[in-house]
Every structure is written in structure tokens, then in C-alpha cells.
Structure 1
């Protein structure tokens, strides 16, 4: 096969790769995508965000049915099992794949199937699933290969009772008890899922508190809510060994504690999928987590090679990955643009209920010695929350005590990942960014959005 030449080659079709490919195509660059899996979408669509959030939605619906007095008597939900709920996600995955395929077709982006590796700074060799390898070349290469669950060498992940965040989505039984090792975002999300399925859940945390990057008050609210639902949380623990047996699995901790359960979910970190890229061929190296160092434009040490998404490190969010891919190509088009700013990208954690935040936390502002004030709205006081019986949670607005600029918005509760965008929009606008905006705006009633008005008044009333 004659070597084909492009302006941009993108490795990986997850959110980061899609963002890069679409930005290149919209700007009339000749772009091609290399995907090693059987379909487009990457881990986000097939093993991560989409299936796990679809599962979470199914579990949430089941949970709501069980607590609804009008439906509880019908026992409609008692017969649903974990495998049945997993199957409900398959249709969503198919729809997402079809949508992305159409997008690539409409924008004339060819997709090459196979494993890509670097030969030099402008050339890739692609090994398809069957047949001989072939080569592609481009002026620029964008690596968006994603990540995979971290596997410590002394844990046997081939045993059916030992799972990671990918393989747990293929678990074929309805577990009575689950141990989750690692209390980061993935661990907390699955703790919520399994506890709402009625399983006995033990969440083992290697740190002294849950999700330390969150605002302290929000993290404490999540911890309290998980425990109230029956989740056992063990802080400051480290694993010593995993003993997988025929009917159960035993997690041995260095503290001497042993935890027995039907299944162990290992959720302690992810590794950039850089091991097959042959980075050394161009003089690049990954860190211990398989991530490739980049600058503010996502350029690697080789200027025409970019790395975006999970393989470039934090924040490892699908939403951030897409805009990272877009920014990398924008920099190819215009090297004079400003470095990408991640400060206004919201975090979304799909526990039950959700958590979302944007901007500074109280702890960060205390370290900066910035004068600030806080406004709260407890969801239990909102008419909409009372109607939907989603009373757990709150909205928290942090604003500058002198110029009244909104510095951070933190939300814990149903639909938090949607609610946070109102605050994000205000914070991003130099004209609108004033906490009094929320007191001057008319919100539909009853809605969850009016929490902003309540929280703003609550905070303004605290000012001296």
C-alpha cells in the first residue's frame, strides 16, 4: 500500500481524539483517525463514561421505584438484577457509536483500524487486526490514546471475582457484597451504584478523606450520605494481598484487617495507554503512570506531536478531553493563541446523588488569604426538590467579600452536573460575574435553578 499523507493524524477516537479530528476537519485540514478497537468512541463510549453512567441511571430509576409508595407495593423492581441493568446500557452505546460514525462520515474523516506506533516524528505504522501493517504520515500527530485501569503486578485480574472498572461492566452475577479498593471518583461512583442495588459495600480509601480535591463541605456531605445508606468506609488503609477464592475474595490490608466479599473492584488509579506507541522512536518518554508530559498547548517535547486527554494526565475528564483535543489543533492552526485554561472546566462526579463544582474551594481561598463569603441553599427547602422527593443536597456559592465576584460554585444533589452550568456561565463572563446577578434574575418557579437566588441572598446577608 502506498503511504498516505495527511495534515493531521489522530491516534484514538475517544473524546480527545474526536475533538481534535472535528476541529481539523472543520478547518479544512486533511485529517485521519486511527482506532485500534472494533468501533469508534474509545474507552469513554465502550468501557467508561457512557456504560457506567447508563448503569448508574438504571440503578437510580430502580432506587426511585423502590422508595415510591405508589409503586413499591407492585414489587416491580425486586426482580431486576445487576446483569439486567447492565444490558440496559447496550442500546445507549450503540446509539453513541452510530452518532459518532455519522459525524466522521459527514466530515470526511477516514478511520483506519489497527494499533498505531511511531516510526518517526511524522510517520505512523498501523497494524490492523488481520493483514500486513501499513504506514501513514502527517505534518502533525495528536496522541489521544486514552488510559486503562492500573493493574498492580501482584493482583490476579484473571480471576472472575477480581475486577477493574472496565471488567466490572461484564460481571455476570448479582453480588451480595462488594469491596471497592480505591475511593477516588470511580470508586465513589461504584460505591453509590452497588449500595443502591442493595449490596453490602466496603469502600477502602488509601487517604484520610474522600475526594480531597473537592470542597471540604461537599466531600463531607458525600461521606455522610454514603454511610447513611449503609456503605462502610475505611480510611488510611493500604492493601497487602488479594486472596481470590472459588466463592469469595479476601482483601488483606497492611493494618491487619481482612475484608471478605463476593467481588473485589480494584479502582485505584489509571495508566495512560502509551505502552504500545513506541515513544522512544521519537525521543519521548512517559511517566510511571504512562502519561506523556505536555505544555499549555498539549505539545510534547517533539513540537509537532501533541498529547491530549487521559494520556496527558489530569484532569482526566471526558469533557476536558474534548476541548483539549480541539485546543491542540487550534494551536496547529494558530501558534500564537493563549495556552489552554482548565480553571473553568467543571468537575462532574456521578454518585447518587451527583456532585459538580467549578472554580475555587474554601480551602484554596484560605491558602490564598483571599476575603470571601459563602452562600448556601439546602435543597430540602426548595419546592421542586420537595415535589420530586430529591431533598438530599445543597448548592454552595463562594464569592469575593469585597467585589462580589463569584469564585466557586459547588453542588451536591440530584442533577448537580446540570445545575452547576448556571454558575459556570456567570463566572466566565466579565460583565455578569457578580453574586447579585442571581438576586436580580427571575428563575422559573418551581425549579432547582432558584437555589442560586436563595444561596446568593444567604451569602449577601452575611456581609458586614
Structure 2
């Protein structure tokens, strides 16, 4: 379905990451004259240096684990020695080959996205852009900022993303002290990788490099890894980390990181010193909003530099919208994409469903993965909403037993009385796929009884979702579903 306008609306988008890309496609579909300004490549850092390459690296780590654990399923690898006796081969990681592949995949994804925009009729300008008032983007397209292009439009969409946060006492050098965008230049697996920061990014890379065979030390300033996540889920991941040989230093904070020439030295605030071959700084991100004219345009921002947006991605300036990690909303690629589409739909008068944080699914790509949606158990315990929680260990699932899965669980959260599904947490291999069933239930306000009546294949990991829902049958008292 298309919308007809008396005149063609024009939309200019600063940043071609997930938010800008989806905004451009949506605007083109609705018949707008669309221009995208991007300095690095369509897809932005999410595709070129962040999400796509990191998850490709994690896929390689998963494959290494599958090979190393195959003997548990009765699959054995061996080669015959000169005496005819079997030799036990070792899993070897060609990190140069791995990094070459993942960067090639990232570039291919960027090229595919660029081609899709061109096919849709979107104009693409390569260069550094900044906002000039409420209706224009000025682009520096030549070397040294000598050439300029000016794009005027009815609506502007800002989607400039974020960059790794850097600390003065641990300045990344791209050789020994690294951000997550610099990891892919390593030619060999680090002998001992020290990861500073146990949030999502730190935990994902710590998990991946441990499973690739590196010695890993994870420095966490909190009592548990993944602070802010489901406590049961974080506990499972920390147990897996320690069982795999990772050194987890809880309640520890890095004060200084130094390149010693042939390694790194990390000094903690309590005086302890940790030495390794490389250090990954995973201490958060800062929005790329400095120096691009946002303040001059009257756009409200937080002290951290994030752009204030409402639920339709609109800023304090009526015709300027923003999407992605540069905003105050959840920093996820999927959210950026939805914000981009929502912004365009709202600007062009199409049907809009305002974004709601409780409807967002999120996933942490550790091994096993952690997927969440809606309310958490902590929300229930803190009294934010009346709810009931049921957790079912994955080890009881027949398919999990067949696959040799020992760690993980399915947790469903339902509204007290009506039994309406209002949230869930899954810890499992491919939890990112399994959470979709609970996300649909929460989105469509299904009860646990309705969820339990959906046929799950037997045997399957999804069977744990219906089993958990059946166990909550007593929750449903036949009351009308609430609007949480």
C-alpha cells in the first residue's frame, strides 16, 4: 500500500546504519525523495565493525565448541600415526583466516544494503555530514573538507550511532590495548586476553575467545557478570565461564592499562596487577553527536550526548527525528531499525505504533545465549507489577539431552490472576530464536493457557516453552487480560 501526497516529500538522513537504512527504505516505499549521508559505508559501524563481524566471530567459536564436545555425543576425531595407532587431533584456529572471512562478510552485507537503497531510488552521498538549521545537512565530501554538498529536506533523520568509550588511563593503541572495533586486526589468537568490563560486549567477547582457545581474564566491577541482567541467567553464564577456565575477577575495577611492549599490564584499584598479552576495553559507548550541529539546531540532548527522543523517535525539533545508539532509547540494532521506520511513518502521516520498551526482545550472544523480553523477575520482586514467575531447567528437555545441552532454562513471567504473558528469559543455545514465541505471546497479550495450547514439535527445545506455560495453568483464573 502506498500513500499519495500533493507534492513529493523530501527526507534527508544523516547516518546509514540500521536506523538510517530502514528509514531510507521506508521513505522510498512511501514515495519520498530520499538522501542518505554516510561516512564509513552503508550499514554503519553495526555492520562494518560491530554486530556483523562480532557475531560472525562468535559463530566460529560455537563451531569450535561443537567440534571439541563432539566426543560427548559419540563422535570421535582421530588420525593414524606411523605406528598405526590413533592420534587425537587438536582444534586449531586460524585467526587471520577467521578475521578475513568476517570482515569480508561485513563488507558484503554493507554492499548488499547499498545496492538495496540504490534499487529503491535513494540518493547516497559519501562524506561527513552536519546539521545546518532545521532543514539541511551540509556534507564534506572532499579530502580535507574542501568540497561541500548541501542537502535540504522537509524532514531530517539523525542516525549517527556510537563509538567505543575510551579512558585516558587505558588509551587503546590498536596493538595491545584494543576496542572491539580493533580486534579484527590480530593475526593470531591472543595468548592471554584481559577483558575490562563484564557488560554485554565484554561478556560476549570473553565467551568467544575462551571458546576459541585463548586464556581469558574478565574484570568485572560488579558482584556478578552481566550486571542488570536476570540474576539466574548471569549466574549460569558465570558458572560456564569458570568451568571453561576463564578467570573472573568480581568486584574489581581497572585503574590503569599499560602496553609493556610484549604484553599488557592492568593495575586494579586495590593494587593488584594482572598481566596478559592483550587487553580489550569494553567499558561502554558514547554517541557520535559531538560537533554535528545538533545544539545549534535546538535539539535537546542528555549530558552524555544522547539525543532525547519520544516514542515515535521525534526530537525536540518537530521535523527532526533520531534513531539508534545516538538516542536515549535502547541501544540495539533491531531497535534502531524500528525507530527509523517509525520516524518516517510518523513524519509522512502513515500508521504509527509508538515504540514500547517492554515489547523489545534482546539477546546476549554468549555461549549459551541469553534472550529476554518484557518484564523481568526483578521487576516482579520490586513490586513494579503483580506477576508470577516459573523457571524450567533446560536439562529436563528431551531434545536438550539428545544434543548434550546441560546449561540453561526457560523462564516465563505472567500477570497474577489473568495469566497474561508479560515477559520471559531464556538461557540456551540459539535463545535468540527461541524467545520469539514468548515475544509474540507478550505482544499479543496471550495467556499462559493460550501459549500452552500451541503445538510444539516433540522433541524440540521449544517444548520447554509450552511445558513451562502448562505448569503455570493455575495462574489463569479466567479474569480479563490486563494492559501491562
One fold, TM greater than 0.5?
A: yes
How far 1:364 moved relative to its partner? Answer: 0.4
Cα distance in structure 1, aligned partners of 2:475 and 2:237 = 26
Match of 2:110 in 1: 97
Residues 223 and 459 of structure 1: CA distance in aligned 2, closer, same or farther (over 3 Å) = farther
Out of 168, 176, 188, the position equivalent to 2:203 is: 188
Within 5 A, what are the aligned runs for 1:200-349? 200-284=215-299, 286-334=301-349, 337=352, 339-349=354-364
Cα distance in structure 1, aligned partners of 2:373 and 2:117 = 31
Contact 1:270 1:289 in 2 (8 A): no
Contact 1:274 1:286 in 2 (8 A): no
Match of 2:12 in 1: 9
Match of 1:132 in 2: 147
- Structure 1 range deviating more: 90-99 or 420-429: 90-99
- Structure 1 range deviating more: 127-136 or 140-149: 127-136
Match of 1:88 in 2: 101
- Structure 1 range deviating more: 80-89 or 328-337: 328-337
Match of 2:448 in 1: 435
How far 1:274 moved relative to its partner? Answer: 1.2
Contact 1:376 1:454 in 2 (8 A): no
How far 1:295 moved relative to its partner? Answer: 2.2
Cα distance in structure 1, aligned partners of 2:101 and 2:462 = 30
How far 1:238 moved relative to its partner? Answer: 2.3
Residues 401 and 293 of structure 1: CA distance in aligned 2, closer, same or farther (over 3 Å) = closer
Cα distance in structure 2, aligned partners of 1:283 and 1:453 = 51
Q: Secondary structure at the match of 1:20?
A: helix
Contact 2:380 2:388 in 1 (8 A): no
How far 1:129 moved relative to its partner? Answer: 4.3
Cα distance in structure 2, aligned partners of 1:353 and 1:244 = 32
How far 1:115 moved relative to its partner? Answer: 0.3
Structure 1 residue runs of 4 or more that deviate by more than 4 Å after TM superposition:
74-77, 335-338, 461-464
Cα distance in structure 1, aligned partners of 2:343 and 2:161 = 15
Out of 22, 25, 28, the position equivalent to 2:25 is: 22
Contact 2:415 2:421 in 1 (8 A): yes
Q: Secondary structure at the match of 2:448?
A: coil
Residues 129 and 413 of structure 1: CA distance in aligned 2, closer, same or farther (over 3 Å) = farther
Unmatched 5+ residue regions in structure 1?
none
Cα distance in structure 1, aligned partners of 2:168 and 2:456 = 54
- Structure 1 range deviating more: 8-17 or 236-245: 236-245
How far 1:135 moved relative to its partner? Answer: 0.9
Contact 1:65 1:71 in 2 (8 A): no
Q: What is the number of residues matched between the two proteins?
A: 457
TM-score (norm 1): 0.93
Match of 1:51 in 2: 53
Match of 1:385 in 2: 400
Q: Secondary structure at the match of 2:357?
A: coil
How far 1:313 moved relative to its partner? Answer: 3.1
TM-score (norm 2): 0.89
- Structure 1 range deviating more: 61-70 or 420-429: 61-70
Match of 1:62 in 2: 64
Cα distance in structure 1, aligned partners of 2:49 and 2:103 = 11
Match of 2:43 in 1: 41
Match of 1:449 in 2: 462
CA RMSD of aligned residues (A): 2.2
How far 1:449 moved relative to its partner? Answer: 1.0
Unmatched 5+ residue regions in structure 2?
1-7, 80-87, 478-484
Cα distance in structure 2, aligned partners of 1:90 and 1:364 = 40
